[in-house]
Chains A and B, each alone.
Chain A
């Protein structure tokens, strides 16, 4: 795991800070909840009173008065419940909005190297599942537990007021309920996590079969998919069976623990009443309180699970904040020349991908990097773009180490376009101007024309205002790649690193694009990592990378004359 997760202590500190920011709404909400719960205690008490009036041979008038009091308590309680719920929704939404906005701000300032290494998967899970789970906790689990806890405290207090003699009843149930619930809750979180993960595997497997139906057909994978599904289901059933086991242990114990206090109260009440220590009304009120206690206790226990999950989600969400913000604060570069001197780099310590690379790239030069897969071409490109920092050796732009530049500055110098492309949900224009918010309509059209994309772009249903990306008009991978290049044209850095930036276009289109792009980029330094040889042919210089080293470097003609591996390849391609 590359992205950190906050420790429980950090989570607690964060939650305390969150609420400390809003002391008044919090206080208001708590007191409203408490007052509402207080009114809820009136009914059993008043019922006991009714019974007393009857026993004392009271009048119907006295009964009616209690009846009115009963109704009054209910009405006041409901008004308080309304206010309390409203207050907690307000506070909850506010806290939630702060949480997610802070999270997105943090994500947006993550160093690009961290994003590259962590991959999108983990971050995406935090953004979608964890933030949703957190929302559920804040909107449901936290207020439900809060109201239930307040109710429990008040019920016990009411019981004490009726008569402390009944306290024995709930205390008797505690030794049963406490260890069983602890046992259950310790295992439940993991159990349900596994259960959901196993269920997700079934869903994913189904999606794979459906989306890959053509492949299943072509390769006759029917039997294999069937077996895979059954295997996934077996996994899910194992996980389900485990949580069912947990519930099978816990539910009956909890149910028994809920009925015990009522029985004990009945017995104690009979004893106390027989001895004349209390009235029948008091006994009845106590029995009813005991029954009322079951609900909030059950609520707390069942929502605790959700709260645990919310806590785990929060730890992952605020963990992102622990990554130090991107970039250095070095001085601005003097000039555009790039210099690599004895640069070594590896993703895993002790396993270098690049060994002692030395290379000078002159401003305005067009350099093609070729070589077999896995030779380290893309890694070299990422180093040039400042995504990674060399392990040893020097990499400078205009005499300044690339890694010392702040990101806003760096991207004015070097930009990287890879095979991976992303179309943001929004209009086509929005997708372009994000690289340069002040770009005019003319600039945007010019940029599209430079990558041979103006034709299809203007033919879209709403032209440049067509909504593309997730949920919008779907662009082909080739169009998305053109879009990425057009963005670069707008951003206009002095050095471009193109890593297979036209690989998704068909060869003929790719070549035409590269030519029109070259016209626009005249005077810019272009490092093109390419697998198509004609790209190399068009470049000023070609660097052949093999096994993490530059084995040949020179113009096309020089390399042909040298008759090395480049020349061999070129001949087999063009003859």
Chain B
């Protein structure tokens, strides 16, 4: 079995859902060809078993011929072994195809999400993309897997049809027309059950959500009370679910009973008709036994076909979702023909606010409305398109990836990814990591971890407090060591002691490179080389913290908030 995943998932044909499905099936075509072949042999050998048992009864048992009995019994056994062998081989190939498709879809989704980047949350809800991972990959995998079983079932049905019509045209026709009819009837009954089950599952999901809500808020509840309110609410909903469950159970029981009575009556009909044929001398006793077997076996065979139709219907919906994702293009995007990148130590300018970011300077933006500072930061890093320029070249004329390698925007919303802490921080030599952690006053966080830098971090870094997360984020940004680093409110969640440490260390750590800090904290502003005070989106005063405190009363009011 070849190892998965593939190094490269390939280039998907996403012109339509059906084309994508076809692309996925043809992606695994060589293995699929083998599994289809195995599927045919597997299903046909199962289909032939009743015939061989009938022959053993007729030629061996009834004829009292020990030699023939031994031969035909051995044939039944041999066929059983063939069935076992082809069954497991087909399963292995089928499983591989399933996984190959599911994994390939994940790879495509991740690569595409990373490519679209900052625009992704604006274009699709994250829930939609995540559901590609939770359900669609399975559905697409299942669709490629069922191909071989469906083709095998068609082959087996053909084999049974030929045998039955050859044995007795009358009985054969009864079976061939009766069984699909039966399945149709059962399928009709299945619909209301599925509807009720769906409704039940939704209700069950809601109850689970309610319980999860209780658990998540348990500290609050235990702290301020309200337990009995929640307990009685939960109990009421639980009893409603129970009533719904009993209703579903009743429909399920009816369906189960139907699945006993319809095939059962049909089997009785076939057996009775067959017996009359045997009595008339048209067929043998063994052939009657075989007919009994065919009728029973046709049911699962036909189910394979309806299952395949269902799976493909579901897979098309999944494929549509994947297509929607693959259709997205990055925004803002790199220009077709990017301008050459300016030399290092370039000046970054935002004409709209009048802000200049000079190399080697720790620039602080203090805005009366923090949203203004964040907007400037977004423009400077080209997360939104604007007239911002790097050494006079409009940012929109530059290759986006190269620009990102030089200008880094670090915000509090930035995500900490799961993995060993070392990787979460960006993975570098220990000495560099230690230095960055030192600047971010985050050594104590690492010291408290059982395996220090090798400790596994959970998604979102949720085991860390808000302040700890913020310091780790800062360390990660410092470690990336870009030419221009833009920090938005990097110390908003840390205590004054820690904040003053970070403020003092930031400048020396970034010596020689440009750093922008959006903040209104006097502890940080005091350490900035240059402070720009922003009101209504414009820089209205510049200077050092001390200069501005004396020269600009509005600045003083904003940062000190004395009786504002």
Contacts and interface: CB of A to CB of B under 8 A. Distances in A.
Interface stretch (B110-118, B179-187, B342-350, B385-393): B110-118
Nearest to B103: A233
B252 A89 contact: yes
A454 interface: no
Interface string B54-83: 001100111010100110111011001101
A248 B96 CA distance: 13
A94 B130 CA distance: 35
A181 interface: no
A145 interface: no
A210 B126 contact: yes
A488 interface: yes
Majority secondary structure, A binding face: helix
A442 interface: no
A215 B121 CA distance: 11
A67 B226 CA distance: 66
A423 B497 CA distance: 31
Contacts of B452: none
Nearest to B132: A206
A374 B110 CA distance: 37
Contact of B459 (A84, A110, A204, A415): A204
Given A266-B76, A503-B466, A569 B114 contact: no
A572 B526 contact: yes
A469 B218 contact: no
Given A132-B208, A270-B64, 7 more contacts: A54-B285, A89-B250, A107-B211, A112-B222, A211-B415, A213-B119, A283-B57
B288 interface: yes
Given A259-B76, A373-B498, A110 B222 contact: yes
B76 A263 contact: yes
B55 to A, nearest CB: 10
Contact of A573 (B119, B208, B496): B496
B446 to A, nearest CB: 12
Contact of B5 (A107, A128, A233, A259): A233
A221 B408 CA distance: 12
B371 to A, nearest CB: 10
A63 B275 contact: yes
Interface stretch (A19-27, A68-76, A182-190, A392-400): A68-76
Contacts of B409: 218
A120 B215 contact: yes
A216 interface: yes
B449 interface: no
Contacts of B80: 255-256, 258-260, 262-263
B239 interface: yes
B500 A108 contact: no
B245 A93 contact: yes
Interface string B119-130: 111000010011
A78 B208 contact: no
A426 B87 CA distance: 52
21 contacts: A43-B271, A46-B271, A58-B279, A74-B260, A89-B245, A89-B253, A93-B245, A104-B234, A107-B218, A110-B218, A214-B121, A224-B427, A255-B83, A263-B76, A270-B61, A370-B496, A436-B225, A470-B209, A506-B370, A531-B494, A569-B496
Majority secondary structure, B binding face: helix
Given A96-B245, A287-B289, A434-B226, A230 B5 contact: yes
B264 interface: yes
Contacts of B370: 506
B264 A77 contact: yes
B241 A97 contact: yes
A465 B258 CA distance: 48
A420 B134 CA distance: 28
Contacts of A230: 5, 7, 107
A494 B480 CA distance: 49
A222 B84 contact: no
Contact of A218 (B134, B219, B257, B410): B410
Size bracket of the B interface: 35 or more
A374 B446 CA distance: 12
B82 to A, nearest CB: 10
B444 A237 contact: no
Contact of B133 (A124, A202, A269, A373): A202
Contact of A374 (B241, B258, B272, B448): B448
Nearest to A511: B561
Interface string A212-234: 11111111111011101110011
A78 B523 CA distance: 81
A256 B268 contact: no
Interface string A409-441: 001000110111111110000000011110000
A453 B465 CA distance: 25
Interface stretch (A239-247, A296-304, A356-364): A239-247
Interface string B403-444: 011001111011101110001001100000000000000001
Contacts of B476: 219
Interface string B214-238: 1111111111111101110011001
Contact of A416 (B114, B216, B223, B480): B223
A213 B496 contact: no
A216 B216 contact: no
